[in-house]
Structure formats: structure tokens, C-alpha cells
């Protein structure tokens, strides 16, 4: 749980402070259920959206991706002066991977209000599958925000996970992740308006597994010679040891390891045949996940 705002800090610490934090977040949610009909009628006058991000990395790599969240009017009540808001977002991975989220932080217009000190109250709580947030711009009043189309993001949350495979992490509005629930609302004066989903946050994960190899160096001794042709034939026909880099044995680069690769190597070495296609004679990427060539650093 995290709180930004000196006024909240002066109210105490420990259990008392946690009660105050949850109380303010719930207060914003209760406002939506009790007074939204009096404030603004019809639909969700505000839309919450998350940004779309992407990351590329090898399997096993630790990833940290920031997703930014915006608030926009949907045209029902343009230009309304808001005094705070509450958010509740959950996330899920298509592959079921474990994803953690850090405490959200204020950014953009939210971070510079009150002389650069940020909102008087910025209370967050994180869960295994999401986070909640309650914001009051200024307890004394007089500080407002409007959210016309194109308003910069106001909140950022950083998601952390291990890259295992290609994946998509989707972040959506969800008022069921906390108890009591935190409703998604924007506070306007003494009332509040419901917020709907404009666009989900999305993290697209691309697991790129690659390794260095030299084509033709089937036995991984840093040379392409007779020994590689013999290795290929032994592996194919005499139950010999398996190469640590199968793609390196594909000397003619036709996508298949067979006797023609051994012939290609012998023709190159002894009959002035063409050299193997790239990567040759230097190491280069392209080996994929299954190549473990000791010939390349």
C-alpha cells in the first residue's frame, strides 16, 4: 500500500493510516453508487484507457514495462471540474504467466498540481492480479482537472514478469479485485460519475530466442572440414552423437539435415565447391533456441 500526500501522513501510521486510505478510496466508490444519478445521467461520462506497450526479450529474461492510464470525457458532460477519481484495474496473461505490479504513481497533470507536490491524497493498493487507486486533488478544494479528449496520461503502473514465451497481458477495469470493491468513478463536486473502459492496457511480449553459430560446423570444433561430414553421416545413419547445433549441420541451408549436407561439405573442402551460405565463416545469429555451439562465444 502506498500513499502520497503530506496531509495523509500527518493522520497517523500503521492500521489507522490503512483505514484512512481505504476509507477515502471506498468513499469515492460509494459516491458513484449513491449520487451518480443526481450528478450526470446516462452511460459512463468518463472513459479510462490503458496504453499499449510491447517488449522483446529472450526466454528467462526479467521484464519491467510501464503502462500509462488516461481519463477522457466521452462528450456527455464536457468541461466538468473534477476533484478526484478512483480506479480499479486487473491484469491477466494469455499464457497464465505470473505478473506483478508496482504501486501506481501520478504523472502528467496529476504530478504537477499543488505546486508540484501532487494530489493531497493518492492512495494505492496492489494485489496479485491488479491494483486500486483513490485520488483527491486537494482537501481544501480549489484544485480541479478537466479531461477533454487528448488529455495526457495521469497514472503509470509498472508490471514485472519473466519472459517465457510469446504472450499478451491485458489490463481491464475490474471492481471485484478488492474487498470492499473500489468502483471506477470520477468525483465532481459532491457527486461522482461512473467511468467506463475506453481501451484496455495491453503488453505484447515477444520471446526471441537466438544464438550464434557457423554453418557447416556440425561438431562444434570451430572448423568446417571432413570431420563435420563424418559427424553428420554418423548421426544420420549410425546412431552417432547428436550435434549441439542442428542448424549448423544444415550446410547447404535447405532447411533439412540429410546426406546432401555431408556431400556439400566434402565438395567444398576437396572439390573446390561453393562455401556454405551465411553465417560462414564467422559466427552470426540465427541459431534459434536449440543451438548450443561451443565454437561461438
Residues 216 and 278 in one domain: yes
Q: How confident is the model at residue 10, as a pLDDT?
A: 25
Q: What percent of the chain has pLDDT over 90?
A: 66
Mean pLDDT value across the chain: 84
pTM: 0.67
Q: How confident is the model at residue 287, as a pLDDT?
A: 77
Of 157, 189, 207, the position where a domain reaches its end is 207
Residues 78 and 43 in one domain: yes
Residues 40 and 103 in one domain: yes
Q: How confident is the model at residue 31, as a pLDDT?
A: 41
Q: How confident is the model at residue 252, as a pLDDT?
A: 95
Residues 267 and 163 in one domain: no
Q: Which stretches of the chain drop beneath a pLDDT of 50?
A: 1-42
> Which set of grid coordinates corresponds to residue 81?
471540474
Residues 17 and 155 in one domain: yes
Per-residue model confidence as pLDDT tens digits over 170-214: 999 999 999 889 999 999 987 889 999 999 999 999 988 778 899
Per-residue model confidence as pLDDT tens digits over 19-35: 344 444 444 443 433 33
Q: How confident is the model at residue 40, as a pLDDT?
A: 39
Let me know if residue 294 belongs to a domain: no
Residues 64 and 100 in one domain: yes
CATH number at residue 109: 2.60.40.680
Residues 201 and 216 in one domain: no
Q: How confident is the model at residue 83, as a pLDDT?
A: 95
Let me know if residue 291 belongs to a domain: no
Write out the residue range of the structural domain in which residue 217 sits.
212-285
Of 154, 176, 207, the position where a domain reaches its end is 207
**What is the count of structural domains for the chain?**
2
Residues 170 and 278 in one domain: no
Residues 135 and 64 in one domain: yes
Of 166, 181, 207, the position where a domain reaches its end is 207
Residues 110 and 11 in one domain: yes
Residues 202 and 216 in one domain: no
Per-residue model confidence as pLDDT tens digits over 222-232: 899 999 999 99
Amino acid at each position: 500500500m502506498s500513499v502520497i500526500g503530506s496531509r495523509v501522513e500527518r493522520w497517523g501510521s500503521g492500521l489507522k493510516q490503512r483505514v484512512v486510505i481505504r476509507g477515502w478510496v471506498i468513499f469515492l466508490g460509494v459516491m458513484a453508487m449513491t449520487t451518480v444519478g443526481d450528478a450526470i445521467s446516462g452511460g459512463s461520462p468518463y472513459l479510462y484507457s490503458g496504453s499499449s506497450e510491447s517488449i522483446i526479450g529472450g526466454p528467462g529474461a526479467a521484464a519491467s514495462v510501464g503502462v500509462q492510464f488516461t481519463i477522457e470525457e466521452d462528450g456527455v458532460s464536457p468541461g466538468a471540474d473534477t476533484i478526484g477519481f478512483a480506479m480499479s484495474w486487473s491484469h491477466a496473461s494469455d499464457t497464465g504467466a505470473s505478473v506483478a505490479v508496482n504501486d501506481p504513481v501520478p504523472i502528467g497533470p496529476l504530478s504537477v498540481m499543488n505546486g508540484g507536490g501532487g494530489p493531497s491524497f493518492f492512495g494505492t493498493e496492489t494485489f496479485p492480479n491488479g491494483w486500486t487507486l483513490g485520488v483527491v486533488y486537494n482537501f481544501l478544494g480549489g484544485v480541479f482537472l478537466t479531461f477533454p479528449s487528448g488529455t495526457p496520461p495521469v497514472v503509470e503502473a509498472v508490471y514485472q514478469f519473466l519472459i517465457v514465451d510469446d504472450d499478451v497481458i491485458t489490463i481491464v477495469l475490474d471492481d471485484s479485485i478488492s474487498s470492499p470493491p473500489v468502483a471506477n468513478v470520477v468525483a465532481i463536486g459532491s457527486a461522482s460519475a461512473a467511468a467506463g473502459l475506453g481501451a484496455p492496457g495491453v503488453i505484447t511480449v515477444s520471446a526471441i530466442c537466438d544464438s550464434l553459430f557457423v554453418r557447416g560446423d556440425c561438431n562444434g570444433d570451430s572448423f568446417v572440414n571432413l570431420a563435420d561430414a563424418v559427424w553428420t553421416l554418423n548421426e544420420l545413419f549410425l546412431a552417432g552423437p547428436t550435434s549441439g547445433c542442428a542448424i549448423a549441420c544444415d550446410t547447404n541451408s535447405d532447411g533439412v539435415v540429410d546426406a546432401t549436407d555431408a556431400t556439400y561439405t566434402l565438395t567444398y573442402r576437396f572439390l573446390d565447391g561453393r562455401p556454405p551460405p551465411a553465417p560462414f565463416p564467422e559466427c552470426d545469429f540465427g541459431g534459434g533456441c536449440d543451438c548450443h555451439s561451443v565454437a561461438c562465444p
